[in-house]
Chains A and B, each alone.
Chain A
């Protein structure tokens, strides 16, 4: 097995920071991003907590030098994160090699679509948002922002594993020499659509989410965008690039159990993790830390915990869910947690699973609850979504 696919840039905006270093500082100082909702007017505002990005749209538009109200918030945060990743990778001309952009999103421009649903007919000045309902439209606009011209651009929407799957496709395209460089990840803003959707599923917590806690009450929705730059070994060698880490393994499987819930014993999750280990050519014992999906819903954490016990044959490595910091950022989650996995590898640190108090009854594994310094060589990150979609990524340290 080779070293994997090189990661040369990362970028992120989430409830705990507007860039990579702010996110890192929040993660090691235990600063969480969950609070009452401020930017969406919803009747549920007193019953829910969310991981909202603090900047409002005009602030984001100013930061990007964009005209007012031309773009969905999904586009705005996506542009910020993608731009940071590209800058960090030291890319001067994005079209100088075969560059692709693959983004995951579930809501796309739904924030604007729901806002102007009835207004389009009387207000021509908001009709620019009509085509924004296409999930691919957000991707297209971010691609334009980072200057991509004719290259390969596509969008993946597999619910909460979207960004993980975008990263996976990017790695496969680099490995099969279809692309030399690809920017991969995902973006999702908060919307009434998802707030009300998850509300009907009765899996929203009315307080801070508590992953892997016996008394967990559900998830907090969040919003974020996060991207990685993947580059071929040829470019890395030729341009003597700094490598931040490697994507070693990836796997996607379907639980084929229920449209929204995970199977009791996490069959899909086990399959996805097994595939990823196989691609990486690794034994489960080589995994130093698991960044769990850990949404804090009763169903996910039980199913994922059982899957971990099965995969690791009882010897589960240290694990934590970072969703207590950010909330569940849906399509972006796999990108956010890929960035955190790389930060963990770079700094030899495990980020804590906050808000954990009570051991789950069904098994005896428990998450890391304090910042822990430990040499990390390999991190496994899970993302699971509706439609039984299960994805696993394995990252390793830059040598």
Chain B
């Protein structure tokens, strides 16, 4: 029995703590291009100081946060009505609607991002359609811009927004909305004072589930973005594979982890406390 309980700790120890210690050790070492692996172990903060002093990295951080934040907001604005509609649909139709939300997962993530390349390319389906229909004779190319990255992130992570929102909205007692209406609340007031505050845990969960992976996203900016869209995940990849600077890449990874641990901890605390004691907005 005791060993069964130890299992998750063993798992975390082998597959998280040990690799993390390795990455930390590498980050504290110095770059040694001629040795294998290209690291001289030691205790130095050179890689970290570089991260915080070089404008390139700071810019990459800010771009990542900005893109992740906007994508999260857009996903929330799209996902909330979707989740609401599914939660209010006839019970026998909900499984089908939920399956449609999850359906893209049945295809590989990478293939779906490639599909967007085919859509957004200069001679992609989108531009072909625009030219054929006469809406725009000379449309620009979305592929290779930040727009394409945002679009890709929203597309890829929308289900992670919809599912937790659906979970809270589906549980929402309809009689609460009837009570609000009965007490004189118009539908919009009932939404703002009852539905929205009670769905806040789902909003927080959905936003974190989109924001956290979006910040470190590498595949989407690499394939859909251009050279000017510098996200931190791409910087990490470049440092590791192109520049073979393992300590710097490791330092980026550790900073990313620390940065994302904060919202996760916030989320956990909020979950442990139960529904947010949101106060009604005062007039």
Partners in one complex: no
